[in-house]
Structures are given as C-alpha cells and as structure tokens.
Amino acid sequence: MLLIKIGSGKTINWDGVCHDVASLIEKEKIIIVHGANAYRDELASNYPSPLKRLNHHPEFQVFTQMWKRLMYF
C-alpha cells in the first residue's frame, strides 16, 4: 500500500498526477492525501468568517508525532 501526498500549490500538474496514479493503481493499493493549500485559501476568502489554521493546535501536534512514529515501523 502506498500513501501519496499530492502538493498543495495552484500550479499542480493534475494531468500528470492522474496519469501516474492510474499507472500505480493497477499494481498497488493507494491512499491519496491532498494538501489543498491554494484552493483552501481561495474558498476561505469567499467565506465571511476568518480562516482558522490548526497546524499549531495541540491535537494536531500529537497526531503528527504519532504519524511519524508509524511511518518508521
């Protein structure tokens, strides 16, 4: 099984990503995680409430530490 993180920039080559994923899915089970940075900010700019990021939230830090440990096993 592969965990694939697709970048979060606005200039991602989606055709290339789809081509690569299509070739991988024939051989492997995959999980795709997308950063969504550029699109998230664009959507949030149209919403009346301010954007709240959780990257410094205590629960996020615990999750990140657990994830790093899992990746080494």
Residue 50 structural domain: 2-71
Q: Is the pLDDT of residue 72 over 60?
A: no
Cβ proximity of 12 and 36 under 8 Å: no
66/60 Cα distance (integer angstroms): 10
46/51 Cα distance (integer angstroms): 10
Give how many domains the chain has, as a whole number.
1
The residues near 70 (Cβ < 8 Å, ≥ 6 apart) are none
Q: Is the pLDDT of residue 10 over 70?
A: yes
pLDDT tens-digit profile of 12-59? 888 998 899 999 988 888 888 877 677 777 877 887 877 666 666 565
